[in-house]
Amino acid sequence: MIDIKLIRENPTLYKDGAKAKRFDVDIDRLLEIDSQLAVFRQQLQDYATEKNLLGKSVANASAQDKKPLLEKLADIKKDESEINEKVKFLQPEFDAMMLTIPQPAAPEVPLGKDDTENVELRKWGKIRDFDFEPKDHIALGTLLDIIDVERGVKLAGTRNYFLKGDGALLHWAILRFALDTMVSRGYVPMAVPLLMRDEAMRGTAYFPGGEDQAYRMEKDELNLAGTAEVPVTAYHMGEILKQEQLPLKYCGLSTCFRREAGAAGKDTYGLYRIHQFDKVEQVVICENDQEKSKQYHQEILANSEAVLQALELPYRVVNVCTGDLGRGQIQKFDIETWMPSRKSFGETHSASRFYDFQARRMNLRYKAENGKNLFCHTLNNTVIASPRVLIPVLELYQNKDGSVNVPKVLQPYMGGKEIITAR
């Protein structure tokens, strides 16, 4: 959420920022309501002062003088009640609008309408040149009997699957390797709840706007989290931390649920866009310092690159354009890993910097050295998400006979197994 004072000072910045991010918001209406509420609050303050003075006068007045004073007091209370009703009418509209105002992108973010205009920053690794006709991950998974989409769809509907045997072991090995990597880098591991209250979804900026993508438990008024970012970032919601506690570095391993509403006909084949997956997510909560935020942004990006490099998967890093940014992100770097069956790079990681956008919504603060309570800055990035990452692993490590070599760093997690073969 944006500080309303900043919007008052420079409304054009937020109008242009919303337009660049392709969010339809009415800044003029917001400021009109803000102005009206300011007038009403001043009137209520004046009424409170006047009532206090009249109350003292009534207490010291003679019986003859009390009547007009009491009548005047009654008139003030009536006017006060009318103003309170106006505030009750306008405040919810103001609060709702404040939750929709996007944070303008950083100056270093490229202008663009969608992901086709993201800007490549660098590439790593060599794309494999096959000397045979490679199979895609579903063909490999079926041959090796480690992926079963047909029964997943039969039991749970479209975009569902089973991983079995070495497929399940490979999936868990990747997650455990990613988690161990983060722990070795000083991040605190967390097993998190998956059902979130609306407050946590709003606090992390998934609501409003992301309701269609969330699985909602109406009876309990809870939501299945689409990422561990929600519970991990909201872990300290409503708290005032100590400056010496910062930065807080967490990594959460969780199952994630996404409805993928509006994705009909898009990336429907295989394991790329599915309803349920597992992910290791990294979150940093730091001081209200833009330069430090930028440093941690590079750190969480480097963490994920280290995992992909250890897996020897070729990838590229892109600077996400304005039209592909979310409401709260001031800048985002995507990592896209090479997927032979797609003949292109596919997004596997998103590293986001928010400054105090999420913290304001969560009322997450820390007491600075000068004694002031400041809103924290938050950042997050995927460490690894599976089974999407199984696409490049299976496809790039395949052999001509359909067997798949196990990446060296994962072999200890699979009991020393070096190759997955058909049984």
pTM of the model: 0.93
Cα(101)–Cα(4) distance, rounded to whole angstroms? Answer: 10
Give the CA diameter of the chain.
Answer: 107
Q: Which two tokens stand for residue 224?
A: 């299945």
Rounded to 5°, the CA angle 220-226-227 comes to 120
3-class state of residue 55 by DSSP? helix
Q: How far apart (Å, rounded) are the C-alpha atoms in residues 130 and 373?
A: 58
Annotated catalytic residue within 254, 350, 352, 386: 350
Q: Which of 8, 22, 176, 273 is catalytic?
A: 273
Residue 305 appears among annotated catalytic residues: no
Taking CA atoms, 230 is separated from 13, 95, 138, 139, 308, in Å, by 28, 21, 31, 35, 24
pLDDT at 410: 98
SS3 378: strand
pLDDT at 59: 76
What letter represents residue 165's amino acid?
G
pLDDT at 265: 65
Catalytic: 293? Answer: no
Active site residue 353: no
> Is 361 designated active site?
no
CA of residue 346 relative to chain centroid, distance: 19
- The one-digit pLDDT tens for each residue of the chain (423 residues) are 999 999 999 999 999 999 999 999 999 999 999 999 999 999 999 988 888 888 778 777 777 777 778 788 888 889 999 999 999 999 999 999 999 999 999 999 999 999 999 999 999 999 999 999 999 999 999 999 999 999 999 999 999 999 999 999 999 999 999 999 999 999 999 999 999 999 999 999 999 999 999 999 999 999 999 999 999 999 999 999 999 999 999 999 999 999 998 766 667 789 999 999 999 999 999 999 999 999 999 999 999 999 999 999 999 999 999 999 999 999 999 999 999 999 999 999 999 999 999 999 999 999 999 999 999 999 999 999 999 999 999 999 999 999 999 999 999 999 999 999 998
Q: Are 38 and 91 in contact (CB under 8 A)?
A: no
CA distance 178 to 169: 14
CB neighbourhood size of 302 (10 A): 13
| Candidate list 258, 327, 353, 365, residue with the active-site label | 258
Shortest CA distance to 339 belongs to which of 388, 386, 392?
392
- For residues 213-229, one letter each, b for 16 or more C-beta atoms within 10 angstroms of the residue's C-beta and e for the rest, the string is bbbeeeeeebbbbbbbb
Burial of 350 (0-12, 13-18, 19+ CB in 10 A): buried
Distance separating alpha carbons of residues 269 and 223, to the nearest angstrom: 27
Q: Residues 6 or more apart from 83 whose CB is under 8 A from it? A: 40, 43, 44, 47
List of E strands, 61-164:
119-124, 147-148, 162-163
Instruction: Choose among 396, 356, 391, 358: nearest CA to 375.
Output: 356
> What tokens were used for 107?
């100056």
Looking at residue 323, its pLDDT comes to 98
Residue 197 falls in the annotated catalytic set: no
Nearest alpha-carbon partner for 205 in 387, 383, 367, 358: 358
Residue 177 and residue 193 in contact, taking contact as beta carbons nearer than 8 Å: no
pLDDT at 391: 98
Cβ atoms 22, 122 nearer than 8 A: no
122 burial type by CB count under 10 A (0-12 exposed, 13-18 middle, 19+ buried): exposed
